[in-house]
Amino acid sequence: MSSKFNNMTIYLGSDHAGFELKEKIKEFLADEGYDLEDIGPYRYDREDDYPDYALKVCRKVLMGGKGILICGTGQGMDVVANKIPGIRAAVCWNEITAMNAGKHLDTNVLTIGGRVTEPDLAKRMIKIWLDSPLTIEERNARRIDKIKEIEREYLSDK
């Protein structure tokens, strides 16, 4: 199956609270023709914790592609993802935040709340995020460069 993004893979991961929505998103993305890889979990288990799957997905994203992470509210996944150098994640709750995440923040990971987001809204947000390429405006580039500099500064302190 050919990707809509020149063979860019979309990596999906969730914890137990996001499992049901992840399965619906996986089906949606496959039907839309995206290249995707489900990083897990592969069945519902209350012992599946968001830090584990956030890390697995983000490691894949760092090699290329984009990631979608789903937990109860999206916040836990977002916190973990943003601890990883090279990841820019945004928790989104409507179409405007999804557009902003792609168009202005150049995020490579989208996080969604499985307990607080209806499947149809999640699908719309994902489509908007994937279809909203970075706006190459000086102000956006300047801000992203500042984020990268903060990351470099704190990594060099270690």
Asked if 111 and 92 touch (Cβ cutoff 8 Å), the reply is: yes
Whether residue 4 has pLDDT greater than 80: no
Question: What is the SS3 assignment for 8-46?
Answer: CEEEEEECHHHHHHHHHHHHHHHHHCCEEEEEECCCCCC
pLDDT digits (tens, 9 = 90+) for 50-85: 999 999 999 999 999 999 999 999 999 999 999 999
**Rounded CA separation 121/88 (Å):** 22
Beta bridge partners of 112: 70
- Which pLDDT does position 3 carry in this prediction? 42
Residue type, 39: I
Beta-sheet strands, E only, within 7-148: 9-14, 35-40, 66-71, 89-91, 109-113
- Which pLDDT does position 137 carry in this prediction? 80
Separation in Å, CA 22 to CA 30, 34, 42, 101, 116: 12, 15, 10, 19, 13
71 is catalytic: yes
Map out the domains of the chain as residue ranges: 9-156
Beta bridge partners of 157: none
- Which pLDDT does position 133 carry in this prediction? 77
Asked if 71 and 37 touch (Cβ cutoff 8 Å), the reply is: no
58 is catalytic: no
Q: If you average pLDDT over residues 94-122, what whole number do you get? A: 96
Q: Which of 16, 58, 71, 92 is catalytic?
A: 71
Which option is the CATH number for 9-156: 3.40.1400.10, 3.20.20.70, 3.90.1150.10, 3.40.1010.10? 3.40.1400.10
Q: Which of 16, 58, 92, 104 is catalytic?
A: 104
Whether residue 2 has pLDDT greater than 50: no
Beta bridge partners of 70: 14, 112
Q: How many CA atoms lie within 13 A of 95 on its CB side?
A: 7
